Structure 1
Amino acid sequence: MTTNPRALLVGSGGSGDVVSAVALARSHGYRAPVFAVPLWERAIFDPRPGPRGSADVDHLEWTPGGARIVSSTRLPGGWSPLPELVRRTGIDLYLLDVTTGVRGLAKQLRAIAHHERADHLELVDAGGDIVARGDEPGLVSPALDAMLLAATAACGIRGTVTVVGAGLDGELTPHEFAESGAALKWRAGKPISGSVAADVYRQLAWFPSEASLLMLLAAQGVSGTVDITRGREPVVLEVGAARPVSMDVSAVARFNCLADAVRNTTDFATVDRILRDLGCVSEYGLEKDKLRRRPEVPQKRPWEGHSLTDLLDDIHPRADHVGVRRIYRKLALTSRREHQVLMSWLASRHAGCFVNPMLPLNALANNELRIGL
């Protein structure tokens, strides 16, 4: 396509994967890489259920390749960390509109690649749930990965799937992940160096992404076990989590039955219906139910009259850290403002030991929760 090729790195599961993609691009030494990502923020940041399309976003920069997210881009009624990420890193970041279904996504990827003269597409997933078969009981966020996997396989551009921070999203068990690796015959790459990870972490430590930030900490030599989801095994931080593994996108698309199931879709509602019919968790449905159950009259909040230690009495016994998302879910926080207050409180009350996105459990002893929410 071009005598001066560039890589197009796509965050497969949403905003957080872009953090890992930035670290991966710097580690590989890619020349002027281009990035693309779908937009579906957690309900605490964007109360409207489901993914957002380009018509839902203000101040995009339109190019022949599509819509780019810039520092002035805004999400009406919600908040996305992506414009601030662009401001701090200076990357070229395109918005992928998943409301158009897999067929629309494939067209968008082709347009971006043509306009940016990219001859290789790297689908980046922090955590590794993209290499699931699709029937694993712990799989809770399959929609975006399945759509991007199917679209990448169909767009006609040479592509790979790269997983970093294997297991750090807590969705696949180590055994399930190992089974996928054996079936897909993936190739282990050079670990993301501590210096690259430290540089990216300095820029993006504020970013609300557990799997990507945990990977950056692991690359810097931080170790431990982190309880990120109630009732599941803690995820393990160790240096191996910073080693990317790659495989051909077509092989992964054949392995992941969900990608095949949604490959002919032209809208997101159909994707959601197909995945529900296959027995998958509907993230969209969960968000709608949560919004419907939210009381109109303010209720007594969980933190009132309790210590943080009391509230986190169900932490896994083998964990030595607790994830921030685990904390804010336990506190039933509902807004970005409350999240910001919590982060400020953790940083001030536990200065020297709180490292986003986790807090060591030994820091919780006898601490009263006084965060002024």
Structure 2
Amino acid sequence: MKRLLIAAGGGGDAIATAMVHAALHGAGTEALVLTYAWERLVVDPVPGPRRPSDFSGTLRPTPRLHLVTPASAPLPPAGSLLPRLAADLRPELGLLDPYEGTVGLARQIAEAAAYCAADRVEIVDVGGDALAEGDEPTLRSPLGDALVLAACARAGLPASVLIAGPGLDNEVPEARLRPRLGAPAFTLTAGDTACVDRVFAWHPSEASALLVAAARGVRGVCGTRDAPRPLTLGPGSAAVHRLTLPAALAVNRLARALEGAASLGEAEEASRAVCGFSEIARERERALDLAARGGARPGAGRNPEPAALDAEFAAWERRTAATGVEYVTTRRIAEELGLSRPALTGLLGRLRAAAPPRHAPPLWRLCPGPPSAGRPLG
């Protein structure tokens, strides 16, 4: 038997799901994590989620279950980090295809349960937008989570909904989530993060990086790239809350509206009716804007000389710290400074060697004081 888990939001949720699995069942326990191939435009320039036909090299143990392996690859122009995640994570990764809506996802989940010989499913969401009511002004990406909730209900499998790191995705504020959550079921620890240690050397997920940092004891104000305000990591930031599926559905109006949706287009219309927007339509608009500006290529960016980059970083660090931010993600450094992968790698290497220490893995501590002797970034 394999444990069956679903990373409800796509993107980096598979990373957090691997940690939750390790905490609950042990990192070496056999598991399948179902996840969307639905990533930021800087990774995948094609708007919306990818489907199995967008990949080569997947395995197909059942008609509707496609496994992504290290040998899989996205077919251009699509992009995906799932094959690399499959190499670095212990659980198997299965692809959720939402193009047949709730109806098709329910069939996929049922087949995955049969493949795993699993009699229940654990749904994992980082941050808590699976418990969005739909009218939160900071809500950006409710559709994937809502589709998973609706599909699990349709599949009829017993299911738990696990909310890890309330508020860490900067969509539903932690204060608004708290009354919906109850007491934590457990709290992630540093030991639970060992199974994802290698991932953050290359993966841009910010919410999962914050969850790892919280589990390792980091506390303070954190700045991410794609958020309207900083987050504060506190004692509850590594907590995992368990709800029943009916309890989650009672909160999530979009998930209830998706009952019986037979296509992704129908799901988009439900999102417009409940939330007032379609996140896929927003991605289409951003993709057109990026194309007009020459496109976004992964790893593209500037390559300043090391000394010039160190001085530029020091000035950026002082400005950012002046706003009250104490820690930042790798993605924020890379995108705000507009760096290529080689330039970023060089800068981060020098930050690791700087004094005082900057690396609070997988975050970076801001130390905006004057340079230490012999340490241009100290």
State whether TM-score is above 0.5: yes
Distance between the aligned counterparts of 2:45 and 2:98, measured in 1? 18
1:244 aligns with 2:240: yes
Indicate the residue corresponding to 2:113 in structure 1: 113
TM-score, scaled to structure 2: 0.83
Which position in structure 1 is the counterpart of 2:200?
A: 205
Aligned CA distance change for structure 1 residues 295 and 69 (closer, same or farther; 3 Å): closer
**One-letter amino acid of the counterpart of residue 223, structure 1:** R
Residue 158 (structure 1) aligns with: 158
Tell me how far 1:218 sits from its aligned partner.
1.3
Q: Report the residue type matching 1:28 in the other structure.
A: L
Alignment partners' CA distance in 2, 1:38 and 1:126 = 14
Aligned mates of 1:231, 1:248 — CA distance in 2: 29
Report matched runs for 1:99-138 at 5 Å: 99-138=99-138
Paired with 2:283 and 2:347, the residues of 1 have a C-alpha distance of 27
Q: 2:85 matched to 1:89?
A: no
Match for residue 73 of structure 1?
A: 72
Secondary structure of the equivalent of 2:40? coil
1:317 pairs with 2:323 = yes
Deviations 1:153-209 (A, max 9, x none): 22110001001122111112122111322xxxx452222222222x12423222221
- Separation in 2, partners of 1:82, 1:321: 27
Which region of structure 1 is more displaced relative to structure 2, 63-72 or 306-315? 306-315
Shift in alpha-carbon separation, 1:326–1:203, aligned structure 2, 3 A:
closer
What letter is aligned with 2:177? F
- Find out whether 1:359 has 2:371 as its counterpart: no
Structure 1, unmatched stretches of 5+, are 367-373
Q: Label 1:52 to 1:230 Cα distance change in 2 as closer, same or farther (>3 A).
A: closer
Do structure 1's residue 283 and structure 2's residue 311 form an aligned pair?
Answer: no
Q: After the TM superposition, which residues 1-373 of structure 1 pair with which residues of structure 2 at under 5 Å, given as runs?
A: 6-29=2-25, 31-64=29-62, 66-77=65-76, 78-181=78-181, 186-197=182-193, 199-206=194-201, 207-228=203-224, 232-294=228-290, 307-308=312-313, 313=319, 317-331=323-337, 340-341=341-342, 343-352=344-353, 353-355=358-360, 357-362=362-367
State the secondary structure of the residue aligned to 1:41.
coil
Greater mean deviation of Cα atoms: 44-53 or 80-89: 80-89
Q: Which amino acid aligns with 2:59?
A: E
Which deviates the most, 111-120 or 238-247? 238-247
Q: How many residues align?
A: 351
Letter in 2 for 1:257: R
Aligned partners of 1:215 and 1:127: how far apart in 2? 9
Instruction: Give identity over the alignment, percent.
Output: 26
Residue by residue over 1:58-116, the C-alpha shift from the partner in whole angstroms, topping out at 9 and shown as x without a partner, is 11101126111111111122432222222233422111111121110011000110121
Secondary structure of 1:111's partner?
Answer: helix
Q: Distance in 2 between matches of 1:315 and 1:10?
A: 37
Equivalent residue number for residue 371 of structure 1: none
What's the offset of the Cα at 1:219?
Answer: 1.1
In structure 1, what residue type is equivalent to 2:326? D
My pick for the range that moved more, 110-119 or 56-65, is 56-65
For structure 1, which segment, 161-170 or 284-293, has the greater mean C-alpha deviation from structure 2 after superposition?
284-293
Moved more, 147-156 or 268-277: 268-277
Deviation at 1:140, TM superposition (A): 0.7
Secondary structure of the residue aligned to 1:350 is: helix
Contact 1:12 1:123 in 2 (8 A): yes
For 1:42, give the aligned amino acid.
R
* In 2, Cα distance between equivalents of 1:316 and 1:163: 32
